[in-house]
Amino acid sequence: MSSADLLSAGRVASACLAACASALVYLVVKGYHARRTFYRLRQQGMPMPPWNPILGHLLAVPPVMKTLPEDTQQPDAFEALCKAHEKDNMDSVIYLDMWPFADPMMVVCSPVLAVQACQEHDLPKPPILHAFFNPLAGGDNLFTMNGPEWKRSRALFNSGFSAGYVLQQTAHIVDEAEVYVEILREHARRGDMFSLDDVTCWYTMDIIGAVTLDSRLQSQTWHNPLATAMRRQIRWHVLDNEWNLLVRWNPARPFVQWYNNWQMDKYISAELDKRYAEWKQDSSTASSRSIIHLALAGYMAQQQDRPLPARLDPAFKRWATIQIRLFLFAGHDSTSSTICYCFYLLQSHPEALAKLRAEHDAVFGTDLSATAQTLRSNPHLLNQLPYTTAVIKESLRLFPPASAMRGGLPGIFLADAHGNRYPTEGTNMWILHSAVQRNPRYWRDPLAFRPERWLVAPGHPLYPPKGGWRPFEHGPRNCLGQTLAMLDVKVTLVLVVREFEVRAVYDEWDALNAAKVKGRVKTVNGERAYQTQMGGAHPADGFPARVRVRRER
């Protein structure tokens, strides 16, 4: 080897050593600051599990995990830790030191503290959210933005989710729901066991595709590259419950994710170009308030009186593509889970199912073949379903599809009714919706399915506590699509529950997968359909189900 080669190799080795040393120094400094934060919090008497100055709270997690299914969602484990270590003279909150796996964390299980974090202080979204959302949306998006950029984007899309405009989308939802119903009929004819969660995800993807892109994806019955790439991206990205390191660190993942990104961006780019060309030829298309048209409307407004460019600005296309991808992910993922849990809870509460069917008969009549057309011609009838709304809200209370994350700030404290003040500086606040919504300090019969909670008057023992129901969050950062999500679920229940009996068949699934479940915990709070992380929170094992057509009317 020549001297030049030796010199070059030496430089490379020196650079590698320098990089390794820098990384080591960063980890040591970061770890020191994390441990110092918790040393101070412990000195202040803040609630937390037993703390080790070297390992933090890492030793507190394994005992809890032994009591839960291996694939349960992380909030279940942190809720259990909160219950085990919260103090009687303090509200439901603990601090967790999970470094190097996470930054200092404040786990909030109290509606009182959640209201302060998300509404009174409106604390910012923390940078940690980028790691989860960027592979799905493709970059900084409406969910992760803060400040003026978020306000401009939120204002641009608000009109597309107004109650009046969303109700006008009922016909689009019914179109996709009829395909879903026919798929359920086919499963009923075959009498097979299938994943209801999977079937429902494709269904809600088609709904949000129609609302977002103003076109039908038809992913329930055909291969759609956009929908397929999004669903595949979720499967390859969300690995919170994957313990197999060969799967978790699969070297193929970056390449698969790159291909998924390319597929999604290519599809949406073509749609943007198509809509832009239509707009230039006929400005009447501007009356649509689909997400893609609202994005283009913002772009057109920036052009003012200048001649329209031949092609869309690449920077705008990139921004619009990211926001559209976010809506596609968020708009289908949580709604599909909610639909599944409505079926699950109604199956196990036949009295509630009977009331629901009676309400639908009273509003839509008993001719099931006419229901879809009635919905198209008179969508306002959906506002006459108080018990249906109560069923959906109670399902969302027991099985919320997500939680909230906020970043702490210097000088900002959360305060409880006992006079305690909890510092937020240097922490990421994880508001666990499932824990807040099942907190026995605030809810009567917190684990019971009681739709009547949403029909009683204030002062009744079942009446929900202030700020206690948070599946769509509250305050300025509440879910933009909550009206659409509620409409999707209502339409689905109206068209499905009177025609079908939908049953979870976990006993059958467990028998077929005995080697996987033998000797393992497979329930959370007594529920076999516990939540597992698959994008948002979804029913365990894909919700194995059977469907049969009802013979009773």
Residue ranges of E strands in 273-408: 404-407
Mean pLDDT calculated for residue range 71-87: 93
Q: Rounded to whole angstroms, how far apart are CA atoms 163 and 309?
A: 34
Q: In the structure, what pLDDT confidence band is assigned to residue 106 with cuts at 50, 70 and 90?
A: very high
pLDDT, tens digit (0-9, with 9 covering 90-100), for 194-203: 999 999 999 9
Same domain, 339 and 208: yes
- pLDDT for 2: 63
Q: Is residue 283 part of a domain?
A: no
- pLDDT value of position 11: 64
Q: What percent of the chain has pLDDT over 90?
A: 80
Q: Kindly state the average pLDDT of the residues 139-168.
A: 93
Same structural domain, 33 and 164: no
Provide the CA 42 distance to its chain's centre, in angstroms: 33
Distance of CA 279 to the CA centre of its chain: 33
Whether residue 240 has pLDDT greater than 80:
no
The tens digit of pLDDT for each residue in 474-491 reads 999 999 999 999 999 999
Residue 30 included in any domain? yes
Tell me: do 130 and 191 sit in the same domain: yes
pLDDT score of 28 more than 80: no
In the chain, how many H helices and how many E strands?
21, 11
pLDDT of residue 75 exceeding 70, the answer is: yes
**For residue 249, what pLDDT band results from cuts at 50, 70 and 90?**
confident
* Confidence (pLDDT) at 281: 83
* pLDDT (average), residues 332-358: 97
Strand partners, 415: 421
The CATH number given to whatever domain includes residue 356 is 1.10.630.10
Query: At residue 25, does pLDDT exceed 70?
Result: no
pLDDT at 39: 93
Closest CA relative to residue 531, chosen from 353, 405, 398: 398
Residues facing 544 on adjacent strands: 195
Task: Kindly list the distances between the CA atom of residue 459 and the CA atoms of 11, 20, 448, 467, in Å, as whole numbers in the listed order.
Answer: 74, 62, 19, 15
If you average pLDDT over residues 143-168, what whole number do you get?
92
Q: Is the pLDDT of residue 192 over 90?
A: yes
Tell whether 55 and 115 lie within a shared domain: yes
**Are residue 13 and residue 73 in the same domain, yes or no?**
no
> pLDDT class for 21, splitting at 50, 70, 90?
low
Confidence at 250, pLDDT banded by 50, 70, 90: confident
* Residue 513 domain-assigned (yes or no): yes
CA end-to-end distance (rounded Å), the chain: 87
In this predicted structure, the answer to whether residue 4 has a pLDDT above a threshold of 70 is no
Looking at the structure, do residues 415 and 516 belong to the same domain, yes or no? yes
Judge whether residue 142 has pLDDT over 60.
Answer: yes
Residue 479 assigned to a binding site = yes
Per-residue pLDDT, averaged over 533-548, amounts to 95
Q: Is 539 a domain residue?
A: yes
* pLDDT tens for each residue of 271-329: 999 999 988 887 665 567 899 999 998 888 877 777 788 899 999 999 999 999 999 99
Question: Does residue 173 belong to any structural domain of this protein?
Answer: yes
Query: And the tokens for 122?
Result: 């409106």
Whether residues 175 and 26 share a domain: the answer is: no
Find all residues with CB under 8 Å of 90, minimum gap 6, and list them: 47, 416, 418, 420
Burial tier of 419 (Cβ tally within 10 Å: 0-12, 13-18, 19+): exposed
How much is the average pLDDT of 98-120? 95
Least confident of 236-250, 275-289, 313-327, 452-466: 236-250
503 within a domain of the structure (yes/no): yes
Q: pLDDT value at position 238? A: 72
pLDDT at position 27 is 62
Does this model's pTM top 0.75? Answer: yes
| 29 and 171, same domain (yes or no) | no
Question: What pLDDT, in 10s, does the model give residues 514-529?
Answer: 988 888 999 999 999 9
The DSSP string of 237-302 is H--TT---HHHHT-TTHHHHHHHHHHHHHHHHHHHHHHHHHHHHH-GGGGG--SHHHHHHHHHHHH
pLDDT given at position 8: 62
Confidence (pLDDT) at 319: 95
Q: Is the pLDDT of residue 260 over 80?
A: yes
17 is in which domain, residue-wise? 1-43
Supply the pLDDT for residue 24.
Answer: 60
Tell me the mean pLDDT in the region 112-140: 95
Mean pLDDT across the stretch 386-390? 98
Q: Quick one: 124 and 20 in the same domain?
A: no
Q: Which of 8-12, 28-32, 61-65, 462-466 is predicted most confidently?
A: 462-466
For 406, the token pair is 């906020």
Mean of the per-residue pLDDT values of the chain: 92
pLDDT for position 13: 64
Claim to verify: residue 335 and residue 484 sit in the same structural domain: yes
> Could you give the number of structural domains in the chain?
2
pLDDT at 300: 84
Helices 225-237, 196-213: crossing angle, 10 deg rounding: 130
Count other Cβ atoms within 10 Å, centred on residue 73: 26
pLDDT at 551: 75
DSSP string, 214-247: SS---TTTS--HHHHHHHHHHHHH--TT---HHH
82/108 same-domain check: yes
| pLDDT value at residue 489 | 98
Query: Is the pLDDT at 180 greater than 60, yes or no?
Result: yes
Least confident of 33-37, 50-54, 121-125, 484-488: 33-37
Selected residue with higher pLDDT from 15 and 486: 486
The tokens for 173 are: 């939802």
14 band by pLDDT with thresholds 50, 70 and 90 = low
Compute CA distances 443 → 92, 139, 234, 446, whole Å: 13, 39, 34, 5
Say if residue 26 is in the same domain as residue 76. Answer: no
Q: Where are the beta strands (DSSP E) in 281-418?
A: 404-407, 413-415
In a domain? residue 294: no
Q: Is residue 479 part of a domain?
A: yes
Of 11-15, 54-58, 108-112, 440-444, the range with the lowest mean pLDDT is 11-15
